[in-house]
Amino acid sequence: SVLISSRFQSQVIRVNRETEGIDWVLGYAGDFSMESDAVFHYQHAPEIQPGGEILLFDNGCIRERPYSRAAEYALVFDDAGAPLRAELAWEYVDESLFSPAKGDVDRLANGNTLITYPDLDPGLESMLREVGPDGTTHWEVITNSGVGTYRSERISPYYGHDTMMERD
């Protein structure tokens, strides 16, 4: 399957690569019922997690919620596999951060989440922040004003501690 993020419709669409048909639509006017606090707006970078959950960057962009967040949704299906509801399984919120466009969120191997907030006001800088499952900030970096990033990825160092020890 492939996920398509239709930003201006506030929808994530799962397309079956074999049939080329739409399996389901998550979000506004989609196939899953959602509580009002779970609804996302102008999202970016949806990813299917190993357990089938959907992790995405929710830009916000609405008067009622003028901040961006990382959100993970658990999808519930009936016995026949038809979509029922999407439940907000996890979210990270810092109401002081609003990124009107772009953004990224990745679940890391250690269980933490890497969030990229691009184009923050006032100088359009970006923030990269790694948070734990409980929302604890482990580290963050803010770019200089006018210098930003759209997405970020955590990569392993080229030479780990063990490798360096073997070379000595």
Dihedral of the CA atoms 89, 99, 115, 142 (nearest 10)?
-150
Whether residue 162 is predicted with pLDDT greater than 90 in this model: the reply is: no
Peptide bond into 66 cis (omega under 30): no
Q: How many CB atoms lie within 10 A of CB 155?
A: 6
Beta bridge partners of 14: 3, 24
Using DSSP's 3-state secondary structure scheme, residue 55 falls into: strand
Alpha-carbon distance values, 41 to 57, 70, 76, 149 (Å): 9, 12, 21, 21
Q: What is the mean pLDDT of residues 133-141?
A: 95
Whether residue 164 is predicted with pLDDT greater than 70 in this model: the reply is: no
Encoded amino acid at 93, one letter: V
From CA 100, how far away is CA 81, in angstroms rounded? 35
pTM over 0.85: yes
Q: What is the predicted pLDDT for the residue at 122? A: 65
Q: What is the predicted pLDDT for the residue at 167? A: 40
Q: Residue 107's pLDDT band (boundaries 50, 70, 90)?
A: very high
Q: What is the predicted pLDDT for the residue at 136? A: 97
Q: What is the mean pLDDT of residues 116-141?
A: 89
From CA 5, how far away is CA 26, in angstroms rounded? 10
Q: Which of 129, 111, 23, 152 is nearest to 70 (CA)?
A: 129
Q: What is the predicted pLDDT for the residue at 1? A: 87
Which helix (H) or strand (E) covers residue 109, if one does?
A: none
DSSP 144: P
Q: What is the mean pLDDT of residues 109-137?
A: 90
Q: Residue 165's pLDDT band (boundaries 50, 70, 90)?
A: very low
- 54-104: pLDDT as tens digits: 999 999 987 778 899 999 999 999 999 999 999 999 999 999 999 988 999
- Residue pair 63/4 in contact (Cβ under 8 Å)? The answer is no
Higher-confidence position of 34 and 149? 34
